[in-house]
Structure 1
């Protein structure tokens, strides 16, 4: 596993990651272990950037590695399933701390509605790829996953879903707004161009 600052993560995080590595279905080509690690690394960056200290920093790290744990069972309501399945591993944490973790996991549910900085961090780390250079390869994994679950039927469906999603998505933290929004806009423009090309091709045929 490639976790930045691995020693900073509490032991429960490594247990959760180990579970994910063993139990996530192979058809999850986007919501896979690599995605969870990517989100965890993103959250660790935000922790440093916003100088968030313990114990909150560890709660953010736990929420990051746990936010898609429910996919072990299935995609439906996976945020709530993640909360339920991970709770038994968090017996050393107080109800207040658990409530903060729950809120951060719920903040990743689309459409995202984070209520505080910590939830904003989880939300932005979860969708950070929308404003990065590796969007094409990561979105290809999500496309294959959507095909598997029947969310889309073909590339045309997929492109329309992605255009709508990117048009409605907004980053939350000041850092992401400044450093991810421009490239996300460029990606959106490229997707719209592809939609137009497909439409023109259909008309021509």
Structure 2
């Protein structure tokens, strides 16, 4: 996957992406460089859709490439770790700009609680795949990661986690509500059908 509109990204973004490519642990199958680029590309779409001013678009792009930067250290509290890791690179930015970047990164934390449009953009971009055709492939990668960290132990537990998450999640921007909510509900419907048709012994294992 390639970063779209690459010339619009400030130098700091290229430094972050380079560090991610070199330092992200190999056992991460979902929170990869590819995921970061995907989120950045989705943010590009939102920037165009909402005609965001260049001065703010630059901050959105920084937040997009930095939102999982903390994974180079640990998945625990990675949003705050991302903020701590990226702050030394922001010496050329004002405190107001840094605060906006940090707010956008925090907005990706689940359960998501964005406070303005820019935070809504990051939140929805981070989970854009929930309403896309590549959901099965990307959720499969997340399943592998959850298995590695012991978040789930088997298919039935993973199915239950997916259903619970999709039931509680909602998109924030008007664009995502129109274009991602219905496909996400179809995914949820299929998962519930899968759960109801699972053997009783498998359901008990969850």
Work out whether the TM-score is over 0.5: yes
Aligned position for 1:126 = 126
Where do residues 183-194 of structure 1 align in structure 2 (5 Å cutoff)? 183-194=183-194
The runs of at least 4 consecutive aligned structure 1 residues that moved more than 6 Å come to none
Stretches of structure 1 that go unaligned for 5 or more consecutive residues are none
Where do residues 22-41 of structure 1 align in structure 2 (5 Å cutoff)? 22-41=22-41
TM-aligned CA deviation for residue 198 of structure 1: 1.5
Aligned position for 1:144 = 144
Where do residues 73-112 of structure 1 align in structure 2 (5 Å cutoff)? 73-112=73-112
Query: How many residue pairs get matched?
Result: 203
Q: Secondary structure at the match of 1:30?
A: coil
TM-aligned CA deviation for residue 193 of structure 1: 1.0
> 1:64-99: CA deviations, max 9, x gaps?
000000000111000000000000111100000000
Aligned position for 1:12 = 12
Aligned position for 1:45 = 45
Q: What CA distance in whole angstroms lies between the structure 2 residues aligned with 1:201 and 1:68? A: 37
TM-aligned CA deviation for residue 201 of structure 1: 6.0
- Alignment RMSD, CA only? 1.0
Q: What CA distance in whole angstroms lies between the structure 1 residues aligned with 2:181 and 2:199? A: 27
Aligned position for 1:168 = 168
Q: What CA distance in whole angstroms lies between the structure 1 residues aligned with 2:202 and 2:74? A: 36
Stretches of structure 2 that go unaligned for 5 or more consecutive residues are none
Q: What CA distance in whole angstroms lies between the structure 1 residues aligned with 2:23 and 2:159? A: 30
Q: Is the 8 A contact 2:71 2:78 kept in 1?
A: yes
Q: Scaled by the length of structure 2, what TM-score is found?
A: 0.97
TM-aligned CA deviation for residue 199 of structure 1: 4.3
TM-aligned CA deviation for residue 122 of structure 1: 0.1
TM-aligned CA deviation for residue 104 of structure 1: 0.1
Q: What CA distance in whole angstroms lies between the structure 2 residues aligned with 1:53 and 1:26? A: 37
TM-aligned CA deviation for residue 197 of structure 1: 1.6
